[in-house]
Amino acid sequence: MEISGISSPTVSQVSRQKTGDAVGASALDKTMDVEVAAEAELINSVANPAQEVPSEKLPLSLGRNINVTA
């Protein structure tokens, strides 16, 4: 009795599943890398407090009043 013909579709299916899992994991890794790069770019785009204009160089009226009736 030959069993190679019987187990071949099962082995093929398992092999395809493993390949699909590997491709899915690779795609997830690439997506994570893209997200990390986007987050780093977003963080770097935020103004650095050290680069802001010192308060003594701003007009005296700026930032002292809040309009609460708008």
Judge whether residue 2 has pLDDT over 60: no
Closest CA to 63 of 48, 55, 47, 13: 55
What is the pLDDT confidence band of residue 67, given thresholds at 50, 70 and 90?
Answer: confident
Q: CA neighbours within 13 Å on the CB side: how many for 30?
A: 6
Instruction: Report pLDDT digits (tens) over 10-50.
Output: 667 778 888 888 899 999 999 999 999 999 988 888 766 66
pTM of structure: 0.47
Instruction: Tell me the C-alpha distance between 1 and 22, whole Å.
Output: 35
More confident residue, 23 or 55: 23
